[in-house]
Chain A
């Protein structure tokens, strides 16, 4: 069951007015342009026992992602496919609003939006993760760990997720004659076939703010998350929050997001390049 958040501080109406009036002049509280991201940083290989990991920072927002690859069973209806599980933890470290406990609807929504944006375009080639068809496959656990929440968790989580997947080395599993599986060979990169990034737009009335900070999110009506693959195809989309959107503003929102996705892709590419063996 989903319930209107009621345990929240009162929304500062004055702040909303300020942000709206700044927006009319094309600027924001932190001096950014309406279509400007905060500084973005992606660091790969931040957790040594993970098979792959990354830390994404957008402004003060910090999201870590870690990948573990294990042997498991395929889904009954997909016997020749490995398994990808995406989990998000909104850690209580990250915000005074986050309480310890199992993932709530916000964590689940975040995980599922990222899951779809990875799964639908086939970012991980799951057909390449089969050991014994119908019996044993590789299960990829992608755990997204939100450490510091200063707004725009979707884009940071997406970036961390892609970074971690691209950083992942799969242990060299081999199937023995008796059907047992052992790690014998050298590790190999996870088969990642595409790169995906997301662009989030905050909605305040008729104003669009790219990469909303927490301060901006709190007074927003909601947001739109667009996920793109490296070729610019739309591979995910989510209206999140109680906002409504004018029918004729959907196109402009899409165009705004489309104009930004390459920036994030560049961050991703750069960090991979820095990280790859020379």
Chain B
């Protein structure tokens, strides 16, 4: 299997093949001396010339992360065969900017109407969660082209609340 994985602004070509019980892998065409075992607690134990790494996967409402030791990565995986792609919903947006809910909660105030002009950093709406009111700001100067929620509506993490053109 061949995957294109983008991690920390770099894209790697990862080739995986299984020989009897063990994984062989190449990184950007070069053999990568990784000795890999999947532990039954869902952790990959990886030995590379003696250095020991534990890699696990984190499932979040915004997609999957990879955690190596204590470092969290948000990879984009592209499988040329199936074109199935793992990518964070928010990073998918190109061009027009979106305001997405960073957490589940309830919209308690909408500060600007659809169609209104906003400046970067201007508050657009307020979402309440865990007894805290959190103001979501416009990522850019522009016009509110979409306002997908009303005051009082519950929102899910990652839900697109507004779009700015």
Whether both chains belong to one complex is answered with: no
Q: Which residues of A contact B (CB under 8 A)?
A: none
Q: Which residues of B contact A (CB under 8 A)?
A: none
